[in-house]
Amino acid sequence: MSEEVDERNPTRHLSDEECWQRLRDAPYGRVALAVAGEVDIFPVNHKVDGSSIVFRTAPGTKLLELTIRDHVAFQVDGFTEREAFSVVAKGAAREFDRQGEVAAAERLGIEPWAPEQKDRWVRIDVTELHGRWFERRAQ
């Protein structure tokens, strides 16, 4: 029995700056919330604003859940033929509606893909950031 040798570089942890860059570059991410023993994951368009992540949403399950329990996880990932990465940010999410903060968020240029009106704003203040990168096996 012949064992194939995997000559790819080992998985490596991304630096904080590499994580933030991938968060900035990603067109969308997923926010995960856990309330009353249930976990939900929602895709959202987002932008990075300093050390936080901002997205727009509409009234509904996502907004209700994050007001009940504000601790969330946010993930982006991506790949090419040669490599792949995943970044997870954790922190406290809060809805905001002060005029100055909303005006600043609108300047970030977040354009939701879904046709429904997304007039509520959420900021995740990131407290933990982790990322990994690895080479993909040749196809």
Alpha helix stretches (DSSP H) within 5-60: 16-25
Residues 6+ apart with CB under 8 A from 88: 73, 74, 75, 128, 129, 130, 131
CATH number for the domain spanning 39: value is: 2.30.110.10
Q: Indicate whether 1 belongs to any domain.
A: no
- Is residue 125, in this structure, part of any structural domain at all? yes
In a domain, 5, yes or no: no
pLDDT digits (tens, 9 = 90+) for 14-59: 999 999 999 999 999 999 999 888 899 999 999 999 999 999 999 9
Residue 15 is encoded by which pair of tokens?
A: 């630096």
Residue 2 lies inside a defined structural domain of this protein: no
Residue 7 lies in a domain: no
In the predicted structure, residue 95 carries a pLDDT above the cut 80: yes
Could you give the count of Cα atoms lying within 13 Å of 22 in the half-sphere of its Cβ? Answer: 24
Domain assignment of residue 42, yes or no: yes
Domain tally, the chain: 1
- pTM beyond 0.75: the answer is yes
Tell me phi and psi for residue 55, to 5 degrees: -145, 160
